[in-house]
Amino acid sequence: MPITEASVADLLSQIQDPFMECDFVSAHNLKEVSVNSGSVKVTLELVYPSAGVAEEFTQLIKDKVLSLEAVEQCDVVLTHHISSNQGQNQLAAMSGVKNVIAVASGKGGVGKSTTTVNLALAMAAEGAKVGILDADIYGPSQGMMLGVDEGVRPQPYDEKHFSPIQAHGLQTMSMSYLVEDNTAMVWRGPMAAGALQQLLTQTRWHDLDYLFIDMPPGTGDIQLTLSQKVPVAGAVIVTTPQDIALLDAKKGIEMFRKVDIPVLGVVENMSTHICSNCGHTEAIFGDGGGKEIAGLYDTELLGELPLALSIRQQVDSGTPSVAAEPDGEYASIYRAVSRKLAIKLAERNAASDGVMPSIVIEDD
């Protein structure tokens, strides 16, 4: 029986995308199928950054198509396309940014900034164009975490904007680039909120798929300015299993709900302590808190990170875990979380657009 474009498409409908929990055809990933004698070409376009799964998916599809009689060769082209999110309250889109993700916590000291920088690096490692805005005006830390030398300053882009600082492949902006490290920002809330607005509007972001905003702890002026001025696609809540941290995390979730920003999920940091000598694992801050709060607010526990010495050492040295050990255990957790975020945003964008891409099937 001769091979046809329709038979190839039918075969691909039997292959599941394990992250989307549906097949490639139902997920509208299949863009084109062409057949020329015994040669087949399949073009797929995923809705999330795909560098980490491209080789696996390509081989899976090749093996499946080559199992058909009369198919002698199969070429697979796997790409991705990141859609834009409109954000809350019909706010105007940020120039040069498709999706804004706020990373927040109810209290300080839970590893929010460490989580932010590693998630951003993980998303970039998957093939996305990513930026970080350090919105903690009083205690900016992203510059140090990314290894940006003290004294490095943003360069003017034009008369009204300046270019972000490049670090580990990320576009970054922070108050730490504008002041000395030991300068205390003794400002009232409105001044800090105004500084954040300047950082947001005067930075010339360049074609970003995702902009991660490292939020200060709490629910004050900075958070209100963000919700009123920036179209945020969604928020990630970082917490520890400790009861007091969970109490404050609940306040953070409630805040985002009040300003119509969806909470994409919860990341439980310092989930367990791993002894560097013997490897013994112990839940010193409690157990199951992140899962409990995710269930309470009908969201998802995106991932659990241990209290590991290397995570702290690497971020303090300016080379976070995803950059220092890209194939390591902790990097794989951050990449899994970033992939979940990308898929959640893609699903929300598709639901709001209500428009499905078309599939082209043609002979060469």
What's the pLDDT tens digit per position in 68-101?
888 889 999 999 999 998 778 788 888 999 999 9
Output the pLDDT for position 159: 86
Output the pLDDT for position 62: 93
Tell me how far apart the 2 most distant CA atoms of the chain are, in Å.
77
Which pLDDT band holds residue 163 (cuts at 50, 70, 90)? very high
What's the pLDDT tens digit per position in 18-47?
898 888 888 888 999 999 888 999 999 999
**3-state SS string over the chain?**
CCCCHHHHHHHHCCCEECCCCEECCCCCCEEEEEEECCEEEEEEEECCCCCCCHHHHHHHHHHHHHCCCCCCEEEEEEEECCCCCCCHHHCCCCCCEEEEEEEECCCCCCCHHHHHHHHHHHHHHCCCCEEEEECCCCCCCHHHHCCCCCCCCCCECCCCCECCEEECCEEEEEHHHCCCCCCCCCCCHHHHHHHHHHHHHHECCCCEEEEEEECCCCCCHHHHHHHHHCCCCEEEEEECCCHHHHHHHHHHHHHHHHCCCCEEEEEECCCCEECCCCCCEECCCCCCHHHHHHHHCCCCEEEECCECHHHHHHHHCCCCHHHHCCCCHHHHHHHHHHHHHHHHHHHHHHHHHCCCCCCEEEEC
Output the pLDDT for position 356: 46
Helix 112-125 to helix 329-353 angle, to the nearest 10 degrees? 80
**What residues does each domain of the chain span?**
5-81+355-363, 88-326
What's the pLDDT tens digit per position in 136-155?
888 788 999 999 998 899 99
**Minimum mean pLDDT range among 191-200, 216-225, 330-339, 355-364:** 355-364
Q: Give CATH for domain 5-81+355-363.
A: 3.30.300.130
- Whether 103 shows a pLDDT value over 60: the answer reads yes
Q: Which CATH architecture has domain 88-326?
A: 3-Layer(aba) Sandwich (3.40)
* Residue 356 vs residues 56, 131, 290: alpha-carbon distances, Å: 25, 28, 35
